[in-house]
Amino acid sequence: MGGPRMRSGELARAAGVNPQTLRYYERRGLLAEPRRSPGGHRLYPAGALTTLRVIKAAQRLGFTLDEVAELVDLGIHGHGRRRDTSLQRRAAGKLTEIEARIADLRLIADSLRAALDAGCDDLVTCATSERCPALPSLWPSSRPA
């Protein structure tokens, strides 16, 4: 129960976040509320740094904070659960989502290149011009009337 404890500023610096982020994560339930020193300072256990690193790594992988909360909860309480609720399933779903976003971004990049190549200077003019291939390539099916 004892062990080394870190104050908010120390933990925030070690994790590369600001102290407000710690309090936000506490409110969201991602980080347990710490004990307090006799002077009222928040004192986080050493494991809080690992939790913060896991949260930040999951965010870099594209998981939302809600998804991170589920993953953290699964990691803490998920021993013995079926494999279909695991990180494997969630990571596969996130990968599919990211790949779809990459495809969308490639389409946008190609459209921007086409707009540059066509010399488009005005979106309204470009949208009504047969000369500009950029905007029609972003429309789902056909040009609006």
Q: What is the mean pLDDT of the chain?
A: 81
> Which conformational region is residue 94 in: left (phi greater than 0), alpha (psi within -120 to 50 degrees), or beta?
alpha
pLDDT confidence tier of residue 46, bands split at 50, 70 and 90: confident
Residue type, 25: Y
Contact 68, 59 (CB under 8 A): yes
pLDDT tens-digit map of 110-129: 888 877 887 777 777 777 76
Q: Mean pLDDT throughout 92-114? A: 91
Residue 88 has pLDDT above 70, yes or no: yes
Q: What is the pTM of this model?
A: 0.67
Q: What pLDDT sits at residue 85? A: 59
H helix runs in the chain, sequence order: 8-15, 19-28, 47-60, 65-77, 87-118, 123-127, 134-138
